[in-house]
Structure 1
Amino acid sequence: MAAESNVKMPRIKLGSQGLEVSVQGLGCMGMTPHFGQPKPGPDMIKLIHYALNSGITFLDTSDIYGPKTNEILLGKALKDGMREKMELATKFGIRLADGKNDICGDPAYVRAACEASLKRLDVDCIDLYYQHRIDTRVPIEVTMGELKKLVEEGKVKYIGLSEASPSTIRRAHAAHPISAVQLEWSLWTRDAEAEIIPTCRELGIGIVAYSPLGRGFFSSGPKVVETFSEVDFRKRLPRFQPENLELNKSLFERVKDIANRKGCTPSQLALAWVHHQGNDVCPIPGTTKFENLNENMGALSVKLTEEDMAELESIASADAVKGERYGPDIPTWKDSDTPPLSTWKAAA
């Protein structure tokens, strides 16, 4: 049974620079090829409009989604007065080179990427511009310096980081205020709770949680793999491999039992858990279906007690989940430290 979705969508502030967003956002990555075959563009535009009219005003994309086609889709969706209804977040930093992902934080690339995103989105300004992954070859202060110029020129309102280490966050925030850090956070990905989230809170930086439903795992458990197409990148992720998936099944079953007691679905319970982490947290579950969007909004009606939270966290402990969240071919915050600024100056 799904909780009702006819709830008023609250708004929260991310960071202390003035960014205000709906308490739940919409991840748009799956609307263009990434999780499989492309979805019909007009249907996705209708879904985006439905979300905006329902109060979900915080839309998340990136230039690498598609690549590039996701931003083009959003650009088409943000016509006829829709742009004024929402907060638009996109990202730079991952580019394709010789068929592989290359991470780049060079100032010239930062500017070129922003200009290209503005054109594809057909907007004058990006509300929240993230560095998608950290270039460990370029001092973070150098990248932030160019982002600061884009803010001063009115092309970007607020700056964010995605998958950044605590030291990188501190250095970046000292160079120019960071409004939000995007990271993976869910009942089966909790490693950021040790250092990254406390660092954000110490500095007054908002937290945007992607994949709050465990990349679909908390929607239907191990059966979710049956919906993966041959080109779905989730097929490569360690947690979805047969040997780990069978072990992770017990976690889903226990979450499902609690959800039954609470009168909601497992995905609503998992999403409610993220919402209950604080008023500085905005999860951005992605979907391409109206019914799933309604179900996600219904998570706001799920109220969890301290006992509920403790029970969920006890069954979703770090050693309860089998498999790494990414394979060795995908860089994450764990190795995102950058060289000292002095080394860049010496090399210039």
Structure 2
Amino acid sequence: MAEINYIEINAENRSITIPQSEKLLGVENDSKAIRKYFRCPKIVGDGIDLTKSDVHINIQNASNKVSGKDRYNAENLKVSDENVTFEWSPLRKATSHKGTVRFSVCVTEEGTDREWNTTIATLNVLEGEELFTEKEREERGSDFAGILTADATADADSIELGKSAYVNGKKIEGALTSKNEIKAVTKKTELSSTPIIIPNYGQSTMPVLKHTIEVSLADTSKPVLLKGDIKKTIAYDEAGSIYGDAKASDVRVGKTFTSSNGLKVTGTLVVSEVKYGTITGKGMNSQAIETGLSNVSRFIMARKFPSTKGDAGVLSLVYKDGRLSGVSTSSSSMAVVDNYDIGTVAINKGTITYTPKANEKMSALTEGDTYDWIAIGE
């Protein structure tokens, strides 16, 4: 196979550079006799991706008449690193007149109205010889075309854009494109099951939601073209009630659930968890309480029965918002104490450690006395 010389497209200045070897498009009335190869950046303009777009070659043949305009779909579009390559094989209309053929490349993004174009480039068609002149072909051809296509029923929406056909003697330019969306609506949702194989057990069933879906064209008056690798977008509408009506504020913080729109949502509800128990005082020694919580935000501790020993010590403790306060007694009196007069508390996840203040008997958990505690975690 001969070396391929690419026609290069500059995405910055929109120009087309044609190698000297590629400047000839053909001889008059050539049809599918030559193939041109193009190379272009994959992304052009404002993020338009050629792999997700329709790429066309627009031409004006050397007649310079409006009837000499035509559009070709790019063929064999492939990705090559940061570029794409594609091909064009011109038909007889492009080469029907000797002289200069003007052309440009047009990119239309699928699903939008965005369009990107190059500037004009030119190719040459050399003089040739045909059996009939153009006028003779038109006179003779129109008679035969009318006879041969009298029973044809195609219209513009039945023929792909860029293609043409004769119907009842008249040439029809195609208008059929893939620019029509497909929509899907859930008509019914019900609980069903599907068979599964469980290793070392055998066949069982798994519950599933069975959706009955109606798929239709968004614009029912306009047909849609599905061809090759074209992919269509489906707008899926579903009754949100099947997913429940919980809001983020109804679900515990850190947990997730499916919203009424079928989206994953993380809960924000703060739930307090409470644990309680008893300990026996150890006097001036530090004392740890394993609460069983993942974290502790506050706790309360109270001596269960008055001491019979007459010793000084803590009657009750309250820990909240990082501050410890409580009530203590000396051997002869009772006093309300604060962080300065009492011991210290350390919180390590679900473990509470209370340490009495050195040389301060009023801060001790009276040895041998029973203390009830309640811890709260969020």
Q: Larger Rg: 1 or 2?
A: 2
Q: TM-score, normalised to structure 2's length?
A: 0.19
Q: TM-score, normalised to structure 1's length?
A: 0.20
